[in-house]
Amino acid sequence: MGQPVMVVDAFTDRPFAGNPAAVCLLNGPTDETWMRLVAREMNLAETAFLVPEADGYRLRWLTPTVEVDLCGHAVTCWRGEILHLTA
């Protein structure tokens, strides 16, 4: 089975508006090359990867070409998706 990746629109309450980011909730640590390929395939400004850890999640943000330290709209998308999945 593949790894689900969701596209979430931040700063809006309707589809196809706002600022999109991809969100990928991982089952565990994953190869960075694979994450870069996913980010490139999604072709959005950023893809947020949530890596589970003992006390929560580690967040990583990748563009199609590099990893970035922080991405505001991807954080908003991640938070919304986690709240949705854990409700």
The residue ranges of every structural domain in the chain are 6-86
CATH number, domain 6-86:
3.10.310.10
Q: pLDDT value at position 70?
A: 64
Which segments of the chain are extended strands (E)?
6-10, 19-25, 47-53, 56-62, 67-68
Active site residue 46: yes
- Burial letters for 9-44: b for 16+ Cβ neighbours within 10 Å, e otherwise? bbeeeeeeebbbbbbbbbeeeeeeeebbebbeebeb
Select which of 46, 53, 67, 81 is catalytic. 46
pTM for the complete prediction?
0.77
1 has a pLDDT exceeding 70: no
Sign of CA dihedral 19, 60, 51, 75: negative
pLDDT for position 10: 79
